[in-house]
Structure 1
């Protein structure tokens, strides 16, 4: 029923937006093109909701339809807002003039055309942006570098660097050359360790078949370590039985081992240098808002001293807010992903950082600090749902750990 209501809303928006097009041009060819595109998108929408609506597997064809739908529908919404606003103003002014006894009509075709032109110009911005995001933005990789200082960082680890990637979502990739460039870019950072914070696939382990060899080329002095994200468990697939689901997860774990990655399942490892050490802790997915809570901090910290310097890998940043940031064991740095920065937003360093995802997650992109503890939320390496990125680019994070110097 809710899908039927949505389709009705789509049709009403479409008809209303068409009025702006008719105001601007009388060309039957342009009118016909508008109607053709609208009907094609509507037919695709009905098909997706009727025959594919229950399928949760986000495959590239379905994602591209969703992207095209957004590119067409969002501009129409903007058109409706502008045109409806103008209609409201004209309605109330018309009533006022009638009450005042004026025989003049407030309706002016030139004014209507001017408003329609402005509205179409503004609507073209999200249309072009969403198309660009699908064509170029999704592979517009950025290397973001940070240096974080800690009082209690062991001296031997002053200058220790880590590269974090997250949310590969290999089932969405469609350009091997671009992904290969990004993998090479990761290796070029020559960090001491590479850390992957979950969501290797969209749904099933087989999505990595075409990418296993490429990602096995990731190398670092201390190795490559990983944890599981919510998509890695296969929870969004309608399996025939639990045995198949279990086999899929085991296959994903084995695959990471074959790639040379060290998967931490509520476990920890130490990095040692000249008798000093820091701990790497990796938990399984733990999230709020209905996401899987398989992470077990107590189990992951077995054998670790509260005084040890600790880096925690936890896929969902809500874990940091709910459990980690005030944990008495003091996790110095937490690395997360999950949000993708919603793959849409506006970021101008030092001026603005905004995305709609901020209204759901307090920590959604970049470095945050509370109680002397840090979290980095990686914006993600891949993409899911909308097959593109606008303003929130795919990210490779490089963090250097520094010993804070006393300035007495």
Structure 2
């Protein structure tokens, strides 16, 4: 039944959008190509989601690219029908006016205007080309973004301390080792004091990291590489033969991170020391609002940590900051999260605009946010999931420099 409803909606949208294409492009063979592509993509999309591979386990690259192509052709059609609908309203008013004016032909809709159809197609070409570019180049267009955060209570020894944050690797989506290697080298080039990974190493299965284990194991920082789990790392989005099989998958992922030299924090903390002064690095398991897994335990993670200690919290889902962390008496000065990917689609022009549809779901979705002297940084993600690309919201390597506020400032 769900496929029948989906197919009906798709066909109705396609027929309506086709009016603009047919009005502007008069060659019958091009119209036939349009129809063939529409029918072919619909068939591929349904096949891949229903039968293409083991649907209970993971999304294959073929599936992702089928989904990406489907989006690239379908989203512009939604813009086309907007233009067509607006034109039809005008056509109906014109026809009604002519009839009331005594037109002998009665109620007759004027023909569609080729100019307006051309404008509609031109506008629709923007998301079409953008989504194709996002699949071709955007998904590996790594950006190094730098932030300096100033704190009153930062220990003096950590003035100038640097953190490189990465998040949301989703290794099961990678398809270009050379590009991923470049991203890893870019992380190491920052030569930060510590590297922090804030969850979602895989899409679903620990085996997705087999090919990439040595590459990510080459990450190096003076104080080491630390990590936490994200919602995808638990394997909750696939069907398992038993709960034991799912637990085995999670244990394998945990061991894999240890084998890579990463220190995985599971509702626990570590001390980072400089000149006999320390800051506490706190890591919780995934905690997310809106139906996401709530395995994170901030109280447990902070056992033995004084309220006066300077703390950096690694928590995958930024909703944790809004729901629990800000109101906590644990006095968390800086929280690092990921999860949103910036929806892998949006518009960002520094100083002018920062927009993505995900902002309507998450209050904190990308970049640095501050509230009463407490900060959260939401990383846009290193990898990609679902749509195999990025448009406007590029994969991110974050470098954060901690600074001590001067006494007279």
Superposition TM-score tier, normalisation by shorter sequence = over 0.9
How far 1:107 sits from its partner (Å)?
A: 5.4
Matched, 1:196 2:209: no
Inter-partner Cα distance in structure 1 for 2:152 and 2:23: 66
Aligned partner of 2:41 in structure 1 is 41
How far 1:406 sits from its partner (Å)?
A: 2.9
Alignment map for 1:58-137 (pairs within 5 Å): 58-103=59-104, 109=111, 112-137=113-138
Alignment map for 1:356-395 (pairs within 5 Å): 356-395=357-396
* 1:304-346, Cα deviation, whole Å (9 max, x unpaired): 1000000000000000000001211110000000000000000
* Aligned partners of 1:325 and 1:371 also within 8 Å: no
Inter-partner Cα distance in structure 2 for 1:407 and 1:4: 68
* Aligned partners of 1:336 and 1:378 also within 8 Å: yes
Is 30-39 or 139-148 further displaced after alignment? 30-39
Q: What SS class does the counterpart of residue 390 from structure 1 fall into?
A: coil
Inter-partner Cα distance in structure 2 for 1:273 and 1:50: 55
* 1:34-57, Cα deviation, whole Å (9 max, x unpaired): 111011012113324543696362
* Aligned partners of 2:156 and 2:404 also within 8 Å: yes
How far 1:155 sits from its partner (Å)?
A: 0.4
Alignment map for 1:257-296 (pairs within 5 Å): 257-296=258-297
Aligned partner of 2:160 in structure 1 is 159
Q: What SS class does the counterpart of residue 63 from structure 2 fall into?
A: helix
Aligned partner of 2:179 in structure 1 is 178
* Aligned partners of 2:94 and 2:110 also within 8 Å: no
Inter-partner Cα distance in structure 2 for 1:130 and 1:246: 37
* Aligned partners of 1:326 and 1:371 also within 8 Å: no
Aligned partner of 1:14 in structure 2 is 14
Q: What SS class does the counterpart of residue 210 from structure 1 fall into?
A: helix
Aligned partner of 2:248 in structure 1 is 247
Inter-partner Cα distance in structure 2 for 1:220 and 1:371: 31
* 1:78-119, Cα deviation, whole Å (9 max, x unpaired): 11111121011110222123223345888555x611111000
How far 1:167 sits from its partner (Å)?
A: 0.1
Structure 1 residues not aligned, in runs of 5+ = none
Q: Given the two structures, how large is their TM-score scaled by the length of structure 2?
A: 0.97
* Aligned partners of 1:144 and 1:396 also within 8 Å: yes
Q: Given the two structures, how large is their TM-score scaled by the length of structure 1?
A: 0.97
Inter-partner Cα distance in structure 1 for 2:50 and 2:218: 42
Q: How many residues align?
A: 407
* Aligned partners of 1:3 and 1:49 also within 8 Å: no
Inter-partner Cα distance in structure 2 for 1:375 and 1:101: 67
Matched, 1:208 2:209: yes
Residues 100 and 7 (structure 1), Cα distance of their counterparts in 2 relative to 1, 3 Å cut = same
* Aligned partners of 2:95 and 2:110 also within 8 Å: no
Is 18-27 or 255-264 further displaced after alignment? 18-27
Aligned partner of 2:312 in structure 1 is 311
How far 1:255 sits from its partner (Å)?
A: 0.4
Q: What SS class does the counterpart of residue 209 from structure 1 fall into?
A: helix
* Aligned partners of 2:326 and 2:332 also within 8 Å: yes
Aligned partner of 1:32 in structure 2 is 32
Q: What SS class does the counterpart of residue 51 from structure 2 fall into?
A: helix
Inter-partner Cα distance in structure 1 for 2:47 and 2:177: 30
Aligned partner of 1:341 in structure 2 is 342
* 1:138-196, Cα deviation, whole Å (9 max, x unpaired): 00000000000000000000000000000000000000000000000000000000000
How far 1:58 sits from its partner (Å)?
A: 2.0
Structure 2 residues not aligned, in runs of 5+ = none
Aligned partner of 2:2 in structure 1 is 2
* 1:226-268, Cα deviation, whole Å (9 max, x unpaired): 0000000111111111111111111000000000000000010
Alignment map for 1:323-338 (pairs within 5 Å): 323-338=324-339
Inter-partner Cα distance in structure 2 for 1:236 and 1:107: 51
Aligned partner of 1:23 in structure 2 is 23
